A and B are shown apart, each in its own frame.
Chain A
Amino acid sequence: QSALTQPPSASGSPAQSVTISCAGTSSDVGGYNYVSWYQQHPGKVPKLLIYEVDKRPSGVPDRFSGSRSGTTASLTVSGLQPEDEADYYCCSYSGRTNFYVFGTGTRLTVL
């Protein structure tokens, strides 16, 4: 299974917004609402940020939002804060195979 495609890096200054893309296919990102996003700080366990494309679990700040257009999902972080500096991964269910596939990961730097 091929990984979903994310940019290797992204950056922004505090208070700015940044959007991270996640490109898939009609068999995964574009075909099912099971798209999720995870944040991972260095040496830490990944944390769920977004599920079902655009839903936030309780406790996740509303600065994090998810969306999808066609076969590409996006994570937007608004009002960047220093603690947002981390790796971000998208994930999608692939109905053709009943598998899950992660994105290649994006390292977000807060300048």
Chain B
Amino acid sequence: QVQLVDSGGGVVKPGGSLRLSCEASGFMFSDYYMGWIRQSPGKGLQWISYISLNGRSIFYTDSVKGRFFVSRDNGKKSLFLHMNSLRAEDTATYYCVRMTNGCFDYWGQGNLVTVSS
């Protein structure tokens, strides 16, 4: 069955960096766009980014552009979110998602990232 396993969350100081990983199984990873979605504590969902099949096209929401970078390794069936210059407002649970038919059909379990001094 389709599984997305998120890892890499934790506590980081403002201005710091963190890398989230997502390991996929149960489907042909290289056949799907993948993305990241976050949810601040007690708040709604926010789309962050998505990456094309070969990783050559990547889109970011404005609030993370230039600070966050997404990559994928199709051989290792893995998706990554590199987060730099982290701010308090980046505190959230980050979900790895599989994309198809213009929606997010499978979600990882989520990783909490806390930005605090």
The reply to whether A36 and B61 contact each other, CB–CB distance below 8 Å, is no
Choose from A36, A97, A98, A101 the contact partner of B103 (Cβ within 8 Å). A36
A52 to B95, CA, bound (A): 21
Evaluate whether A99 and B45 lie within 8 angstroms (CB atoms) in the complex, with A36-B104, A48-B103, A91-B103 already known. Answer: no
A56 to B108, CA, bound (A): 20
**Is A79 close to B, CB under 8 A?**
no
The reply to whether A102 and B107 contact each other, CB–CB distance below 8 Å, is no
Closest to A3 in B: B44
Evaluate whether A99 and B105 lie within 8 angstroms (CB atoms) in the complex, with A1-B62, A45-B95 already known. Answer: no
Instruction: Please provide the chain B residues from 46 to 65 with a CB less than 8 Å away from any CB of chain A in the complex.
Output: 46-47, 50, 59, 61-62
The reply to whether B59 and A99 contact each other, CB–CB distance below 8 Å, is yes
**Is B30 close to A, CB under 8 A?**
no
Closest to A45 in B: B107
The reply to whether B45 and A52 contact each other, CB–CB distance below 8 Å, is no
**Is B75 close to A, CB under 8 A?**
no
Which residues of B have CB within 8 Å of A46? 45, 95, 104, 107
Interface string of A67-111 (1 = CB under 8 A from B): 000000000000000000000010101000111111111000000
Closest to B106 in A: A48
The reply to whether B44 and A105 contact each other, CB–CB distance below 8 Å, is yes
Binding site for B on A (CB under 8 A): 1, 3, 32-36, 38, 40, 45-48, 51-52, 55, 57, 89, 91, 93, 97-105
Binding site for A on B (CB under 8 A): 35, 44-47, 50, 59, 61-62, 95, 101-105, 107-110
Ranked nearest first, the 4 interchain pairs of A and B with the lowest CB-CB distance are A34-B102, A36-B103, A51-B103, A100-B47
A-B contacts, 19 of them at CB < 8 A, read A3-B44, A34-B103, A36-B102, A36-B103, A36-B104, A38-B104, A47-B107, A48-B103, A48-B104, A52-B101, A89-B44, A99-B47, A99-B61, A100-B35, A100-B50, A101-B47, A102-B44, A102-B47, A104-B44
